[in-house]
Chain A
Amino acid sequence: MVVVDLQAFEAQIAAGGAVDINDPMPDEYRHQACRIMGFQCLAEIVGGLMFAEWIPRTPSLLRKMMLTAKVQDEMGHAYYLLRTCEDMGLSRAQIIEDYLDGKSKLLNVFHYRIETWHEWPIAALTQNSAALVQFKSLVKTSFLPYARALKRIMKEESFHYHNALDLTRTLCLQGPEHRRKVQEGLNKWWMPVLAYFGPPDAGSAHTHQNMRWRLKIDTNDQLRQNWLAQMVPVIQSLGLEIPDDRLRWNEEAEAWEFSEPDWAAIKHVINGNGPASEYWHETVARNYRADGWVRELVDRERGAA
């Protein structure tokens, strides 16, 4: 292991330098980069499952194919990330097993389940746009393998955004009864997605370090503002009402005001007490067990090759 001079490393990053996988880097930087990518990898997998269960229930062949493409993309995203994780010593099995063993947690939005056909496009629209806002920021990371993966991911994520926007609009245009059902979906998903960006950065040492290393680019609050700036007009243009009567643009502060999510409640959800926390945990565990024979077969072949 190459010993890295932390000061020289930080000076290099501060000067706009970037780090590739075989470059010398402090162990803690490597650990954080790997952790961030592994976390997103898990989110892509569970996020994919959330939509995969809608493929058989989708009422037109074209929409079925579009949704299938989206789910394949999510698994592809997980794959771009996990190849780098594996090169750094974090295996794909470990990423799943850490979640199953309760050692890693899912993002708050993956503790819910999409329950109606009218709900999924608005869930996808809010989630995809939030992810895009986050990726647009993170793509400026100093860690090059992550930047390269995000570039590919963003291109596909933008397909998903337009797919979700198209279906939301189509449903809203089908009359007040349909729009009312989409509105119910928005009422359910608005707050979780607003909270998706995480609590206001309290200036923790962790955050400071990752921002100094450009493993994190913008604060959670800044990302939330970026998302509101982008999505409030889009949602309103669909004739939907944002379920927060405190939401308004503050001219002086040049920022959106909104009802602060109940962070204690969100934490409770993330700790496995959301309405579908158990459902997703069981679903991932069941799939992981059921696919075990494929992994064994592939590993045996790799061993024999």
Chain B
Amino acid sequence: MSTETGIYEVFAETVAPRQVVHVGSVRAPNQALAIQLAREIYFRREACFRLGVVDRAHLQWSDAPEQALTERNAARSYRTPAFFGRRRRRAETRPS
């Protein structure tokens, strides 16, 4: 990723359900113009409740993709919704 300054990530709060999603980025001299530009570039036709911008330099991501964490959670079967059914079936088929 380039280290250019003055890049703002653009987020939109959708109309329904009100949820914040990332839509892209703009290059602008300041926050106010970044919002204006984001409006022109990304919301000429599409509706959104409101939009926000964050200077890319201030956006902190976790170190590694969270995929590894998801896989670990899947391995802890008691945290998954299918756990109870599986456990019950196992108990039922167990010879008494």
Interfacial residues, chain A to chain B (CB-CB below 8 A): 21-22, 69, 72-73, 76, 79-80, 83, 86-89, 148, 152, 155-156, 159, 298, 301-302, 304-305
Contacts and interface: CB of A to CB of B under 8 A. Distances in A.
Given A21-B1, A83-B24, A301 B41 contact: no
Given A76-B44, A80-B24, A80-B41, A305 B1 contact: no
Contacts of A80: 24, 41
B73 interface: no
B35 to A, nearest CB: 14
25 contacts: A22-B1, A69-B44, A72-B40, A72-B44, A73-B44, A73-B45, A76-B41, A76-B42, A79-B26, A80-B24, A83-B24, A83-B25, A83-B27, A87-B7, A89-B2, A148-B24, A152-B42, A155-B45, A298-B28, A298-B29, A301-B30, A302-B6, A302-B29, A305-B6, A305-B29
Nearest to A88: B2
Contacts of B4: 86
B60 to A, nearest CB: 14
B5 interface: yes
Contacts of A21: 1
Nearest to A69: B44
Contacts of B5: 302, 305
Contacts of B26: 79, 83
Interface string B3-42: 0111100000000000000001111111000000000111
Binding site secondary structure of chain B: loop
The size bracket of the interface on B is 10 to 19
Contacts of B25: 83, 87
Most chain A beta-carbon neighbours within 10 Å: one of B1, B27, B40: B27
State the main secondary structure of chain A at its contact with B.
Answer: helix
Given A80-B41, A302-B5, A302-B28, 5 more contacts: A69-B44, A76-B44, A80-B24, A88-B2, A301-B30
A37 to B, nearest CB: 13
A88 B3 CA distance: 10
A86 B26 CA distance: 11
Nearest to A302: B6
A176 to B, nearest CB: 36
B66 to A, nearest CB: 14
Contacts of B27: 83, 86, 302
A159 B41 contact: no
B45 A156 contact: yes
Contacts of A86: 2, 4, 27
A156 B41 CA distance: 12
Contacts of A159: 45
A155 B27 CA distance: 23
Contacts of A302: 5-6, 27-29
